Structure 1
Amino acid sequence: MNLRRIRKPFVMCLALAAAAGVGEAKKPKQKFIKAFVPPASAPPPPAPEIPQPPIDPAFFAKEMPRELSGPIPVHQSQVEIDMRISGSLEHFKAGSALMAKGSMELARTEFDRAVELLIGAPEPAPGRDRLIKRYRELADEIYRLESEATTGSTAEGGPVFDKAPLEEITDMTFPVEPGLKGKVKEQISSTVSQLPLETADPVISFINYFNSPNGRKVFEAGLRRMGRYGPMIRRILDEEGLPQELIFLAQAESGFMPRAVSYMQAVGMWQFVQFRGREYGLNQTQHYDDRLDPEKATRAAARHLRDLYAQFGDWYLAVAAYNCGPVAVERAVQRTGYADFWEMYKRNVLPRETASYVPIILAMTIMAKNPKDYGLTGIVQDPPIEYDTITVTAATHLNLIADIVDRPLSLLKELNPAILWQVAPANYAVHVPKGMGRAAQAVLESIPATHRTDWRMHRVTEGESLASISQQYRVTEQALLAANPNSSSDSKGLDLRKGDLILVPACYPGAAPDQTVRRISGKRTVASRTLRAKTSSRPAAKKPAGTTTGSRGTPSSRTTTRTALPASARR
């Protein structure tokens, strides 16, 4: 009974399972569809091949792009400016040569033409700034030549020197402007300086002075001249491992005038006295004084400052010792017991000039490093002085070298301020314009050593002959032939061509009594108007040194007063 009941439901389950399997087998299988993939397109039929037509290699031989089919356009104004500058230089050279020969009227005519070419360009011409720059340079060069001729400085007289500006400034006292100290304190907080900067009252008072009309003229004149020697000074300070701000010692000492001289007989851009100069290798003879050489004096000053810092361990004390000497600073330290400049200042144990010297340096540094705050951004610095150096193997007149390089004597004197009497002694290193050293050395070696102080060099111009040159220098044709035995010649004498250099056995102007310069009267010329604008407020016979009158009416660093170097300083 029980087995029958169990077997019956089991059979029914099997039957149901079989029926379900049969129904499932009858369903058709569904194909897998990729709904997210687009159907593949049929590949396009291959394109028929088209044969390339034959190309003639010479087909484009005579063709040219449209941009190059005509002449390359050149801005006519640029060409005109180049021609004007070139023509002006030619007239200036001609005027310089005429002035060296004593033909003042003809020289001024050439100078007028040189100036007229520069100022006659149309106003809106592109590149006019080049004309303006060249005009300023030309005006300065003409002024130097005129000044030399007027004062007779080309004569074999003694050297002249500029008055050091520091003497006038240190004797003055200036108020402290209310509110300026806070302004300066903010400036110092954002100023990067290797030399420590302070806001002490003496520093603020000198900032106030240099920001006044008189003081600004002194300061700006020095900043302009800094352009001539700044790159050289910064290079040497860097090589000696010194703060770059020490460049302002030269501005305070001399206003960057290589021939500055003080009442204490300190000489040169860095104001060395005799014994200190010799201590650092600055030789002094009757022919030259190395204290006047900007590069040699800068090297000596850097090493002296380095030694002073090693001695005192403080830049303020080192700068003070540079001014009054290390012995004076040592005594001040012993008297006060403080190795601190400001304590010495308060106790009045330093010389008066030294007490003002350090604040002056700091004031100049702060103002120069913050030009916008003091209205100094518009100052145009002079171009840097660059030169080659040659060694003369025999005593040589600077005028002879000027003739060889075809530059005015004033430029050679500016490049060689250490030469006292216009004659470089044997084995002396002479500076010549950049790029002319090798050629000048070669020409000098071809001149007899015994005649390099009294013979001249003449550059032949168009149309000149042996007869005209002999008349110009008042020598015979036979003397010219004898002085130039290696020059090409023919049956008529020397075969002269434009640009040739020939020796002339004649002395340079200056020693002869008939080399008196006469002023031109009558019509005012362009060059004379240019020079008159420069000299309207000072004697025509003196060249500006570059500073102004101090607040007490005494000449300061822009004065034209010049002092002959005392005999004791030349020994």
Structure 2
Amino acid sequence: MAPKVSIQPDLPASSGPVAAPATNPVDWVELVLAESCAQFEEGYQLWLAGDFERAQLCLDQALWIPMTMEAELPDPRLRVFIEEVSAQIIALVDENPQPETNTQYDEAMLEKLLEGELFEFAFAEMEIEPTAPESESNPFPLTHNAVVDSFLNVFTGKKRQAIGDSLKRSQLYVPFIQAVMQEQGVPLELAYLPLIESGYKNNARSRASAIGMWQFMEGTATDFGLRVTWWEDQRLDPIHSTFAATRYLKQLHQEFGDWYLALCAYNAGPGRVRSAIRRGGTRDFWVLAKKKLLPRETMAYIPAFLAALHIAKAPQDFLFEVPDAEERVFEEVEIPFCLELSVLAKANRLSKETLFDLNPALVRRVVPPDQLPYLLRVPLGTAERVVASLSQIPEADRLQWTRYKVRRGDTFSAIAKRNGVSVSSLQQANPGISPKRLQIGQMLVLPIKGGAGPSIPLGLSEDFYTVRSGDTLSQIAQKVGVSVRQLQAWNPSIRPEKLRPGQRIRVRKSGS
């Protein structure tokens, strides 16, 4: 176990008790860091207790709070604190890993591209030219100025390999992305945004825990209909995440009326952009950047994207070779029960890696029990064979899962015996948890093969239900065996007419 960590704001040596608060200015940086510390501490304890989903939300906030305040509070303590929190989170996860997801994450592209380059350009000395107005014939103005040139020099020089590799991967996805964007009325140029966000890697992960090709934070992902659960993370899926990203970008443009500002909000959050506009008295990105009213990364984000876009539109002009990619084709089949993808692959003489690649959102490499029947992608021409094989898969190879909260005195062998499973299967389901380091309140995955033992209702995990597409409150009540009135009593803030996929609803009284 990692030693208990307490991160405290790096306050000046002279700071101490304030005798007369009314006559002393508030140290806003201290308040921001104190809130971030509280989020980190809560996330740290939740992580050690095995409540990884809630822990991740707290740890995300611990980083996000100071990162988004840098523009409004230009204080070196924030940057030092961000680096320290990042290091502590990495150490926590490395020394106390959660049960494996089988997903190996790569570094996010934006951090790689901007590393060491963030302020090699100088907005302050730049002569401001008004951004060309958006029009039907020119929906996304392609500005070219000295700042963009500085990024072009970097992308065709020190970062040439990273840009070249990303361009090659882009060929697989851009036609699909542009088709979605055209349908939604979003400029086709934005199909190249993943060039700087993720390098078109579905498994890209930023230090702030933004994940996937479109680098969604968990909260934003669920707001736009993506499922982020213990079983499935649709941020990793290029199809689902593209639809969500397109809707989000369109919504941001509807608010700000300018694509550059919409992209700033995509990077830093709408609140930061609203604040910059209010303080700067303008909606021109270049003016806001010159005044340094936006977060540092966001100031670089627009010229970096414009530079990448110049390259993507004419790669040969910059001596990039971009071969055509093979089209990825597949069929979809409904899987009515939970099973490992490797079992399905073996039953159909398919490569399990192919199934993993076609279904990247399935982080446990298992058909999720809370989304049955599940629409699974299979190679083109195999759907009929896969459907026929389902009835031939032995009951012993079908899975049911539940979650178990460790109690006082529990051991792996006691838990296994009590629930009718083997110790080895329990260990395989929880590879990141040491039997010698169980903690009260820690959450374990409990596999139940062949229908033996208790099953869990669809979408039900402990005391909560995860809303699925098309669910109504009455359907959920019927599914979990309680009344609608009881659900409303347990969830006073839930509005039945505004249920959304991924939302969590309490369906049992706590502790029952």
TM-score, length basis structure 1: 0.48
SS at match of 2:312: helix
Which amino acid in 2 is paired with 1:160? Q
Contact 2:348 2:389 in 1 (8 A): no
Q: Please state if 1:337 is matched with 2:281.
A: yes
Q: Please state if 1:203 is matched with 2:145.
A: no
Question: Match for residue 398 of structure 1?
Answer: 341
Distance in 2 separating the partners of 1:211 and 1:265: 28
Question: Match for residue 266 of structure 2?
Answer: 322
SS at match of 1:423: coil
Distance in 1 separating the partners of 2:306 and 2:171: 20
Contact 1:175 1:208 in 2 (8 A): no
Question: Match for residue 438 of structure 1?
Answer: 384
Q: Could you say if the C-alpha distance between residues 347 and 296 of structure 1 is closer, same or farther in structure 2, counting changes exceeding 3 Å? A: same
Q: Could you say if the C-alpha distance between residues 157 and 172 of structure 1 is closer, same or farther in structure 2, counting changes exceeding 3 Å? A: closer
- In the TM superposition, what is the alpha-carbon distance from 1:414 to its structure 2 partner? 1.1
Q: Please state if 1:234 is matched with 2:178.
A: yes
Distance in 1 separating the partners of 2:341 and 2:203: 17
Distance in 2 separating the partners of 1:449 and 1:258: 33
1:431-484 deviations in Å (ceiling 9; x for gaps): 111221232122124435563349xxxxxxxxxxxxxxxxxxxxxxxxxxxxxx
Question: Match for residue 403 of structure 2?
Answer: none
Aligned residue runs from structure 1 range 22-101, under 5 A: none
Contact 1:193 1:245 in 2 (8 A): no
Distance in 1 separating the partners of 2:100 and 2:393: 22
Question: Match for residue 452 of structure 1?
Answer: 398
Q: Spell out structure 1 runs of 4+ moving beyond 4 A.
A: 155-158
Question: Match for residue 295 of structure 1?
Answer: 239
**Identity of counterpart residues, as a percentage?**
36
Which amino acid in 2 is paired with 1:206? F
SS at match of 1:396: coil
Distance in 2 separating the partners of 1:445 and 1:305: 43
- In the TM superposition, what is the alpha-carbon distance from 1:429 to its structure 2 partner? 2.1
Distance in 2 separating the partners of 1:453 and 1:156: 17
Question: Match for residue 223 of structure 1?
Answer: 167
RMSD, aligned CA: 2.7
SS at match of 1:221: helix
Question: Match for residue 375 of structure 1?
Answer: 319
Q: Please state if 1:423 is matched with 2:366.
A: yes
Q: Please state if 1:279 is matched with 2:223.
A: yes
Aligned residue runs from structure 1 range 140-289, under 5 A: 158-173=102-117, 194-212=139-157, 214-289=158-233
Distance in 1 separating the partners of 2:313 and 2:246: 21
Q: Please state if 1:359 is matched with 2:303.
A: yes
Question: Match for residue 413 of structure 1?
Answer: 356
Question: Match for residue 186 of structure 1?
Answer: none
Distance in 2 separating the partners of 1:395 and 1:287: 11
Question: Match for residue 38 of structure 1?
Answer: none
- In the TM superposition, what is the alpha-carbon distance from 1:406 to its structure 2 partner? 2.4
Which structure's CA Rg is the greater one?
A: 1
- In the TM superposition, what is the alpha-carbon distance from 1:168 to its structure 2 partner? 2.4
Contact 1:231 1:384 in 2 (8 A): no
Unaligned runs of 5+ in 2: 1-98, 127-136, 401-423, 430-503, 505-512
Farther off after superposition, 230-239 or 278-287: 230-239
- In the TM superposition, what is the alpha-carbon distance from 1:231 to its structure 2 partner? 2.2
Q: Please state if 1:348 is matched with 2:288.
A: no
Contact 1:204 1:363 in 2 (8 A): yes
Distance in 2 separating the partners of 1:271 and 1:303: 14
Which amino acid in 2 is paired with 1:294? P
SS at match of 1:205: helix
Unaligned runs of 5+ in 1: 1-154, 182-191, 455-506, 513-570
Distance in 1 separating the partners of 2:278 and 2:311: 34
Question: Match for residue 492 of structure 1?
Answer: none
- In the TM superposition, what is the alpha-carbon distance from 1:382 to its structure 2 partner? 3.1
- In the TM superposition, what is the alpha-carbon distance from 1:236 to its structure 2 partner? 1.0
Distance in 2 separating the partners of 1:335 and 1:299: 33
Q: Could you say if the C-alpha distance between residues 310 and 370 of structure 1 is closer, same or farther in structure 2, counting changes exceeding 3 Å? A: same
Question: Match for residue 112 of structure 1?
Answer: none
Question: Match for residue 327 of structure 2?
Answer: 384
Question: Match for residue 304 of structure 1?
Answer: 248
Contact 2:340 2:365 in 1 (8 A): yes
Distance in 1 separating the partners of 2:175 and 2:344: 26
Distance in 2 separating the partners of 1:272 and 1:449: 38
Distance in 1 separating the partners of 2:396 and 2:179: 39
Contact 1:170 1:352 in 2 (8 A): no
Which amino acid in 2 is paired with 1:199? H
Distance in 2 separating the partners of 1:384 and 1:210: 27
- In the TM superposition, what is the alpha-carbon distance from 1:216 to its structure 2 partner? 1.2
Contact 2:332 2:376 in 1 (8 A): yes
- In the TM superposition, what is the alpha-carbon distance from 1:175 to its structure 2 partner? 6.0
Distance in 2 separating the partners of 1:402 and 1:194: 45
Question: Match for residue 501 of structure 1?
Answer: none
Contact 1:395 1:424 in 2 (8 A): yes
- In the TM superposition, what is the alpha-carbon distance from 1:157 to its structure 2 partner? 5.9
1:8-58 deviations in Å (ceiling 9; x for gaps): xxxxxxxxxxxxxxxxxxxxxxxxxxxxxxxxxxxxxxxxxxxxxxxxxxx
Number of corresponding residues: 291
Which amino acid in 1 is paired with 2:296? R
Q: Could you say if the C-alpha distance between residues 411 and 158 of structure 1 is closer, same or farther in structure 2, counting changes exceeding 3 Å? A: closer
- In the TM superposition, what is the alpha-carbon distance from 1:165 to its structure 2 partner? 1.5
Distance in 1 separating the partners of 2:199 and 2:348: 29
Which amino acid in 2 is paired with 1:442? A
Question: Match for residue 563 of structure 1?
Answer: none
Distance in 2 separating the partners of 1:385 and 1:301: 21
Contact 1:248 1:365 in 2 (8 A): yes
SS at match of 1:429: strand
Distance in 2 separating the partners of 1:445 and 1:282: 31
Q: Could you say if the C-alpha distance between residues 303 and 450 of structure 1 is closer, same or farther in structure 2, counting changes exceeding 3 Å? A: farther
- In the TM superposition, what is the alpha-carbon distance from 1:419 to its structure 2 partner? 0.6
Distance in 2 separating the partners of 1:450 and 1:334: 62
Contact 2:211 2:235 in 1 (8 A): yes
TM-score, length basis structure 2: 0.53
- In the TM superposition, what is the alpha-carbon distance from 1:379 to its structure 2 partner? 2.1
Distance in 1 separating the partners of 2:106 and 2:223: 24
- In the TM superposition, what is the alpha-carbon distance from 1:381 to its structure 2 partner? 3.9
1:513-554 deviations in Å (ceiling 9; x for gaps): xxxxxxxxxxxxxxxxxxxxxxxxxxxxxxxxxxxxxxxxxx
Q: Could you say if the C-alpha distance between residues 315 and 233 of structure 1 is closer, same or farther in structure 2, counting changes exceeding 3 Å? A: same
Q: Could you say if the C-alpha distance between residues 347 and 432 of structure 1 is closer, same or farther in structure 2, counting changes exceeding 3 Å? A: same
Contact 2:113 2:196 in 1 (8 A): no
